[in-house]
Structure 1
Amino acid sequence: MIRRDTDDCSSSNSDYLLGLRIASIFIIYVGSSFGALFPVLARRSKFINVPKSLFDFAKYFGSGVIIATAFIHLLGPAIEELGSSCLSEGWREYPYALALCLLSIFAIFIVELVAFRWGTTILAKIGMHHDAHGHEIGSHAAHGPEGNMIDSNAAKDVEAAAAPSESEKHTHTHHMLDAAVSQIVGVAILEFGVVLHSVLIGLTLAVNEGFKILFVVLVFHQTFEGLGIGSRLAYMNLPQRYNFVPIIGAVVYGFTTPVGIAIGLGLRTTYNPNSPTALIVSGVLDSLSAGILIYTGLVELLAHEFLFNKEMMESSNARLTYALGAMLLGCGLMALLGKWA
């Protein structure tokens, strides 16, 4: 959480440690890119043998990081920024940060709801059913006790039934495309919230007077957050032609904070992070980003990975404890970093 001196609305001395501020662009880029790219490349590589348990750890650890980022590193600063004494009295008469966060949560929910209804209609036209938990099933699939009944016509010709017809191939293609689009949209929403946050903290780092502590903390912050994004990107199950998407997502994340730092250094003589305009813009974007990550973290990551995941619900107590422990560790470490940044 970026701390601001609410009693001082003047500009800070951004020329302090200018050389190190410039070097931070490259240092944070390396940390961010490594965190985001390593899980993606390691899962695809034949030469890097990473145990599945380690990938699982990174995935659940990353979920905890993202949830803590939403509450501690985004919503907290937004409340502070929009409640600053540098703003007019009107901004302190209502909890605008919480209202904007709430608006963001419902906006993402409604967009996703409309998208799923539209997608379900399309799937119904090609003979498929969309499960709210993310499983698309062909209309010919059996459900309930009657699913044990055997179609006598199909039993007569097992060989013919085994060979997929043209319509089945067409249905499978649509299923793969729908699943790919759903995953890409979900990760895009997650990364959009993280990218906004990363640019803003990069901008703040470039002009903040407490640079040394903030710099060290943000190296860990961005690496952990990159690990959270990277582990999600690595587990995307996409058709061959969309295999570039996870790599593009990781590369984009790596650039965001360095870009923010570079912009801040370029504007260091004119940019005042404590000015009313800067506080409002930063507070509004932090609030909206918090809503995006809260919705994504709690619904897309937490609920879908645990409550709606049949494999996880039927797994052993040891595996469930391991997953929960990894998630809580990520959340706890990221929340602790909020003490300094």
Structure 2
Amino acid sequence: MSDSADCTFTGNANTKTGLRIASIFIIMATSMSGALFPVLARRNKYLRANIPQPVFETAKYFGSGVIIATALIHLLGPAIEELGSPCLDPAWQDYPYPLGICLVSIFGIFITELVAFRWGTSRLARLGIVHDAHGHGLASHAAHGPETDHEQQHVAEILRDEEKQHRDTDSSMHGSGGHRPHFPEAHSDKELESGRRAQHQDTPNTLGDSATAQIIGIAILEFGVLLHSVLIGLTLAVDQQFTVLFVVLIFHQTFEGLGVGSRLAFMRLPAKYDYVPVVGGLLYGITTPIGIAVGLGVRTTYNPNSNTANIVSGILDSFSSGILLYTGLVELIAHEFLFNADMLHASNGKLAYALGCMIAGAGIMALLGRWA
């Protein structure tokens, strides 16, 4: 322990109790608004018809930048400060533990997803279904042709979904004069009709596998964000500079919620998993208020600068930063820009706009790191 370090606990702020209690509900409202708006807007027919598609895409790319900036500025940066505290045992200074934990987290998430992907792909292959290796869903054809009525209905359902998606996209871009997408002649109208009849039946296992992969991916993202949200809520409840931190966290949680919500909104799930994006948004909305409530409850005894608090917060922040870094760089940026055929063939203007939205999200979130 450094002789010059002041490691004595002098007590937490006991002022503005009413506003601190009100912050529970204010932060909950702003967090849920950011996370649930993209989800509900994509589901509501009126909002979807009146909100231009570019708005959703802007939120998606903006959110990608927010998540990456959160990983570096709001998680890894504080973790380095916490585990580098002069109040800790000198052994913590012998190695860059925050960076090491972040590295372990990145490879841990990668190996987990790799195993899950290989397992899911092998199941799809046994059913004769081709899976897009870059995570853009099932291909619109069977590897060796459907061999059973159930598989024929499954292929037809996929074709029906893709046909509807192309129709919606064309109609939003070209109005009523949008062209009808071309599908191979091998897929007859009879198969498409079978798909329409099958839409109210149980979801095939292949779609279940795809949904499971998406749910695992978003669960990993949410896990990293939720840990961070609880910790900052705990900090807000006891911080001496409450007013500044409170204002900054309103914007912080709204932008971060927008990033999470935009990913939830673009999940392509069967009907029986339709509740997952809404649950994800609600979980995000309540975690920071829970942290604030806990912090208010232990305000007289909790020391945010204690050795235990620094170690626990530093380890959790380091681990969460690895999760968000991997998710942001691999699952979001790589899949949206490098492995997305639409983006690779998009105009220079559209590409520049998408990059601008992502950089704006990262820049604003990085700027908020000046105060929180």
| TM-score, structure 1 as length reference | 0.89
Residue in 2 aligned with 1:144?
Answer: none
Asked if 1 retains the 8 angstrom alpha-carbon contact of 2:61 and 2:358, the reply is yes
Matching of residue 245 in structure 1 with residue 247 in structure 2:
no
Q: Distance in 1 between matches of 2:87 and 2:103?
A: 24
Residue in 2 aligned with 1:74?
Answer: 75
Work out which of the residue numbers 199, 223, 241 in structure 1 matches 2:230: 199
Matching of residue 236 in structure 1 with residue 264 in structure 2:
no
SS of aligned partner of 2:14 = coil
Residue in 1 aligned with 2:116?
Answer: 115
Query: How far is 1:183 from its partner?
Result: 1.2
Residue in 1 aligned with 2:90?
Answer: 89
Alignment of 1:41-52 (within 5 A): 41-48=40-47, 49-52=50-53
Q: Distance in 2 between matches of 1:305 and 1:191?
A: 19
Asked if 2 retains the 8 angstrom alpha-carbon contact of 1:191 and 1:253, the reply is yes
Moved more, 175-184 or 258-267: 175-184
Q: Which runs of 5+ in 1 are unaligned?
A: 142-153
Task: Specify whether residues 188 and 155 from structure 1 end up closer, same or farther in structure 2 by C-alpha distance, changes over 3 A only.
Answer: closer
Asked if 2 retains the 8 angstrom alpha-carbon contact of 1:36 and 1:254, the reply is yes
Asked if 1 retains the 8 angstrom alpha-carbon contact of 2:101 and 2:319, the reply is yes
Query: How far is 1:19 from its partner?
Result: 1.6
Residue in 2 aligned with 1:27?
Answer: 26
Moved more, 130-139 or 23-32: 130-139
Amino acid paired to 1:17: K
Q: Distance in 2 between matches of 1:6 and 1:120?
A: 55
Work out which of the residue numbers 131, 135, 138 in structure 2 matches 1:136: 138
Residue in 2 aligned with 1:61?
Answer: 62
Query: How far is 1:123 from its partner?
Result: 1.3
Asked if 1 retains the 8 angstrom alpha-carbon contact of 2:226 and 2:284, the reply is yes
Query: How far is 1:161 from its partner?
Result: 7.3
Q: Distance in 2 between matches of 1:132 and 1:73?
A: 32
Q: Distance in 2 between matches of 1:302 and 1:156?
A: 35
Identity %: 62
Deviation per residue, 1:301-320 (Å, 9 max, x gap)? 00001000001111111111
Deviation per residue, 1:194-230 (Å, 9 max, x gap)? 0000000000111111111111100000000000011
Matching of residue 190 in structure 1 with residue 221 in structure 2:
yes
Asked if 2 retains the 8 angstrom alpha-carbon contact of 1:11 and 1:274, the reply is no
| TM-score, structure 2 as length reference | 0.82
SS of aligned partner of 2:130 = strand
Amino acid paired to 1:18: T
Q: Distance in 2 between matches of 1:332 and 1:158?
A: 50
Q: Distance in 2 between matches of 1:39 and 1:334?
A: 19
Work out which of the residue numbers 313, 319, 322 in structure 2 matches 1:291: 322
SS of aligned partner of 1:47 = helix
Matching of residue 273 in structure 1 with residue 294 in structure 2:
no
Asked if 1 retains the 8 angstrom alpha-carbon contact of 2:79 and 2:318, the reply is yes
Query: How far is 1:173 from its partner?
Result: 2.2
Deviation per residue, 1:106-143 (Å, 9 max, x gap)? 000000011011111211211123332124342137xx
Deviation per residue, 1:26-51 (Å, 9 max, x gap)? 11111001001111111111222211
Query: How far is 1:239 from its partner?
Result: 1.0
Task: Specify whether residues 174 and 263 from structure 1 end up closer, same or farther in structure 2 by C-alpha distance, changes over 3 A only.
Answer: same
Residue in 2 aligned with 1:322?
Answer: 353
Matching of residue 102 in structure 1 with residue 86 in structure 2:
no
Deviation per residue, 1:47-101 (Å, 9 max, x gap)? 2221100100000000000000000000000000000011010011110000000
Query: How far is 1:174 from its partner?
Result: 2.9
Matching of residue 36 in structure 1 with residue 35 in structure 2:
yes
Task: Specify whether residues 309 and 94 from structure 1 end up closer, same or farther in structure 2 by C-alpha distance, changes over 3 A only.
Answer: same
Q: Distance in 2 between matches of 1:286 and 1:324?
A: 27
Q: Distance in 2 between matches of 1:211 and 1:243?
A: 39
Q: Distance in 1 between matches of 2:307 and 2:64?
A: 34
Amino acid paired to 1:80: E
Runs of 4+ in 1 over 3 A off after TM superposition: 5-9, 154-165
Q: Distance in 2 between matches of 1:157 and 1:220?
A: 50
Q: Distance in 2 between matches of 1:274 and 1:191?
A: 27
Q: Distance in 1 between matches of 2:73 and 2:185?
A: 59
Query: How far is 1:242 from its partner?
Result: 1.1
Q: Distance in 1 between matches of 2:353 and 2:187?
A: 47
SS of aligned partner of 1:140 = coil
Q: Distance in 2 between matches of 1:81 and 1:257?
A: 20
